[in-house]
Chains A and B, each alone.
Chain A
Amino acid sequence: MQSLSVRRIVIMAIGSMLLSGCASSPTGNIEAFGSAATEVSTSIDSVISDYNQAVINNRLVAMAQSKRPYVAADFDDIKQIIIRDANKQELSLYQANKALGDYAKALVALARAGSREEIAISTSSLSKALLMMDSQHQLLLQKDSALTKDGAARIARVIAQLSSGYIESKKAKALKAIIIAADPAVQKIGLVINNQLLKGVIESRLYTMRGSELAGYFADYNAKSSSRSFVQKKQKLDEIYLKYVQMEATSASVKQAQSALLAVMKSHHLLKSELEKDNYSGTGVIEALKKIKANHTAFDSLETLIKNCGTEIIASDEQGIICKP
């Protein structure tokens, strides 16, 4: 009985020593980063899909604005666009975003691997096993119990903590090495995605294409203007105004994706710097993670864009109503 108690103390001492070494588990922050980055990558993916849809809509707009009669063969042109854009893998934006999204998902999966809960479940049965062994020991040798229920549970807990401490330390080392090595690639890819969006390929095309659609509504309005009453004209203008607001807000969803992406790049870099110092849960990292979340939720409409703009709302020729960068 004495030897068991001594062994128990030794095991618990080793356990607490190991646990104190990994008190600030890296998994929480890295998992949070990975999840946020995955969401950002998904929102960039939906910008790509919106853009592809807008290109098709633009052709339909051009057809509707023409006085030509149409037949099914006139859709061949659109078919070609569908075929071209269906192959998203060709888009550098898609490839870069996919690499970023897959990386973020892999970080989450690694941070979650061998969770404490999993190990705790498997080792909780050990306490039952120890108690059972003890009862057999009592029965056969007619001796007093060497182990209390509480003692058995404590031993199992220590085994669980030792096991998860070992796994945590393996994960911490791996995540540190991976994040440090991947940071230059994350920064480069983020910059390209951001620049391609910023450069105005998607944003300015979306704005221009929506403008072409709006012109069609004005043409209709103008053609019937003289025969309409004030009430009819006002109703039509209200309808057109709604379309106009939608067009002006075009940049909101793209801007939201851009801001969130920039926050991901920044927090990855911060995470890398903190990990280099073996600091897994610095306040800087936590703040950066909060910023990704904030950027991800803001700017989903013109109203929220105006409400959340920290600088100044300005009208841009290329992007519509925007928050001054």
Chain B
Amino acid sequence: MSELLALNKAIRALDNLWPLLQGDEQEAILQQRNRLNQQADELAHKSLTAVDAELQAAIDQLIQATENANEIRAVIDWRVERIEKVAATVNSVVGVIEKLGQILARI
């Protein structure tokens, strides 16, 4: 990380220098700045893609917790569905009883 910080610092110093120069001198400093910028970019990318074992274990653990939460949610959804089905069944049975009642009342 200190290497990246040093590169950034050098780039900023060159950026405060080259606008004051002209011609070949300016071009030479700009090229140097571009080279450092590229190095810094690669280093930053390397740091951002590095995954250590401890982090990977934590990510896996959190993915597992997420899966558990999703599974329990599915079970709860299924239970709610059953409550809804019971309510719907009671309703339809009542409908049948109502019709039966109407027939019996006419006899």
Contact = CB atoms under 8 A, between A and B. Distances in A.
Interface of A: 55, 58, 62, 65-67, 84, 90-93, 95-96, 99-100, 102-103, 106-107, 109-110, 113-114, 118-119, 122-123, 125-126, 128-129, 132-133, 136, 139-140, 163, 166-167, 170-171, 174-175, 178, 181-182, 184-186, 188-189, 192, 196, 199-202, 204-205, 207-209, 211-212, 214-216, 218-219, 221-223, 317-318
A52 B31 CA distance: 22
Contact of B40 (A170, A205, A216): A205
A206 to B, nearest CB: 10
Nearest to B8: A208
A113 B76 contact: yes
A126 B75 CA distance: 24
A67 B30 CA distance: 10
Given A109-B69, A126-B87, A189-B62, 6 more contacts: A90-B49, A91-B49, A106-B65, A123-B83, A167-B80, A317-B9
Q: Is the interface of B mostly helix, strand, loop or mixed?
A: helix
B72 A174 contact: yes
B25 interface: no
B41 A205 contact: yes
A113 B73 contact: yes
Contact of A182 (B20, B49, B61, B105): B61
B44 A136 contact: no
Contacts of B61: 181-182, 184-185
Contacts of B22: 223
Given A126-B87, A140-B105, A201-B4, A215 B19 contact: yes
A197 B72 CA distance: 34
B83 A163 contact: yes
A178 B49 CA distance: 28
Interface in B46-88: 47-51, 54-55, 58-59, 61-63, 65-66, 68-70, 72-73, 75-77, 79-80, 83-84, 87-88
Interface band, chain B: 35 or more
A188 B49 contact: no
B44 A205 contact: yes
A93 B49 CA distance: 7
Given A136-B97, A136-B101, A204-B8, A212 B66 contact: no
Given A92-B49, A114-B77, A205-B44, A125 B87 contact: yes
A62 B79 contact: no
B37 to A, nearest CB: 6
Residue among B9, B20, B62 facing the most chain A CB atoms (10 A cut-off): B62
Tell which of A100, A140, A185, A192 has the most Cβ of chain B within 10 Å.
A185
Nearest to A181: B65
Contact of B37 (A67, A126, A212, A218): A212
Nearest to A62: B34
